[in-house]
Each structure stands twice: as C-alpha cells, then as structure tokens.
Amino acid sequence: MRDIRKLPLDKITVSPSILAADFGALNADIKRVTDAGADLLHLDVMDGHFVPNLTMGPPLIKAIRQQSDLIFDTHLMITDPLTYVPIFIGAGADHITFHVEADCDPQAVIDEIKKQGATAGISLKPGTPAEEVFPYLDRIELVLVMTVEPGFGGQSFMQDMMPKVKAIRDEIKRRGLKVHIEVDGGIASDTVETAAKAGANMMVAGTSVFRNPAGALKAISELHSASRYLS
C-alpha cells in the first residue's frame, strides 16, 4: 500500500518534483530518481489561475502511475481543489495537498480526500501565517510550507519561512500529533540543514535532484544525510 503515513517522521524523506524532469523522457527520469533512493514523487499541479503557470493534469498522472510504484505526493495549486480531488485520486494520486488559500472550505476538501481513500495535506503560501493550518492539524497527514512563491521551479530558498516551519512543528509536538512537515522551494544540499533544524522532515527537490551535475544518487543521499539535524 502506498501510504504517506508509513514514512518515518524522524528521518528526512525526499520527494523529487517532476516539474524539473525531462518531460521528453519522463518515465526514464522517474526511474532514475527512484533507483537513486527517492521516497515519493512530487507532482505539481497548477491551473494558471491560482498560480501563474500551467503544468500537468490527470492524464499525465494516470500514464506515469502505470510505470511507478512510488507514493504520488500530489500538490494541487488550483483554485477549486474540491471539484478535482476525486479526478486526481482516480488518476493515481495517493496523497493530495491543497492550499488553505484556495476558494474552498478546507474541512470539506479534507473530507473529500479521505472519502476517496487518500491522505490529506494543507499547503501555505509564503505570506500566509502558520496559525492558518492549526485548526486542521489533527485531521491531516502533512503540512507543506512553501519556501518560494508557488508557480515556477528553480527559485531561491526563502530562509525567512523557517520560523513558520518551527511554529508548526512546535504545535504538532505540543499536541502529540503525527504530521509530516514538507518544504518546497530551493531545497538542495546547502539549504536542507536549515530546513531540517527548523523541523521539516520531508524535502521537495526538483532542480537539485533531476538536474544535479553530480547525479541524482548523490543529490538524494545528501538530502537524506540531513536526518541528523532533526530533533
């Protein structure tokens, strides 16, 4: 069973973002990062409205589902996640993260994700305070803190998001919950330590994995090695 709840909370897990992959050789690129030790696969879904970019839809997810056994960590950067949750889960998404800023009642989206048999996560844009996710922490499996403005890959890591990560981690610990904290944006060997020390245990990495000149194996290994900074 592909279940994000089975991944460790006390070790760094790596979710390569296929936004940085070669879409002309996508299955080969996915196999490459899988063989290199990726723990799950990050799928960035953008609608050109909620964020200023268009990426992939259900047909692509359905196609790569036939070729991969990794957990599909699906990040919906879309205005109306409630409508599309069943479609993406039907295409093969194992986990759905949506934005608290979307035009939907967050609890209704969580309920629909669970109804469809997937795990749920909530994401926060850089300008959204940590407290926005607190009411839902006991109902979700993951919080995704954006460490860049969502929309495009290859942006620089926003270190000023680390207090937000720490605030969410502290609240999770205070309440004794088992919730992953994922960070997305500018994650590489030179930023993973900072993210881990703040309390993030799941790293989305696109360019630094798929386009690393030293190869995906070294890139993922360097990210995994930051487990020692988790507390």
Q: What is the CATH number of the domain that holds 212?
A: 3.20.20.70
Which of 29, 39, 44, 73 is catalytic? The answer is 44
pLDDT of residue 54: 82
Nearest to 30 by CA among 74, 64, 62: 64
pLDDT of residue 225: 98
In the residue annotation, 44 being an active-site residue is answered as yes
Q: Based on the structure, what is the number of domains in the chain?
A: 1
The pLDDT tens digits of the residues spanning 158-210 come to 999 999 999 999 999 999 999 999 999 999 999 999 999 999 999 999 999 99
What DSSP character marks residue 159?
A: G
Residue 203: CB atoms within 10 A of its CB come to: 28
Q: Which two tokens stand for residue 213?
A: 């000149």
> Confidence band (pLDDT; 50, 70, 90) for 231?
confident
Residues listed for the chain: 231
The pLDDT tens digits of the residues spanning 123-166 come to 999 999 999 999 999 999 999 999 988 766 667 899 999 999 99
**Judging by beta carbons within 10 Å of its beta carbon (0-12, 13-18, 19+), is residue 150 exposed, middle or buried?**
buried
Tell me how far apart the alpha carbons of residues 216 and 38 are, in angstroms, rounded to a whole number: 9
What value does the CA radius of gyration of the chain take, rounded to a whole number of Å?
16
Q: Are 137 and 173 in contact (CB under 8 A)?
A: no
In the residue annotation, 22 being an active-site residue is answered as no
Burial 110-139, CB ≥16 within 10 A → b, else e: bebbbebebbbbbbbbeebebeebeebbeb
**Domain around 113:** 4-229
pLDDT of residue 47: 85
Q: Are 169 and 161 in contact (CB under 8 A)?
A: no
The pTM score is 0.95
DSSP E strands in 58-157: the ranges are 71-77, 95-99, 119-124, 142-146
Which of 29, 39, 73, 184 is catalytic? The answer is 184
Tell me how far apart the alpha carbons of residues 161 and 142 are, in angstroms, rounded to a whole number: 17
pLDDT of residue 1: 56
Q: Are 39 and 14 in contact (CB under 8 A)?
A: yes
pLDDT of residue 53: 78
Residue type, 18: I
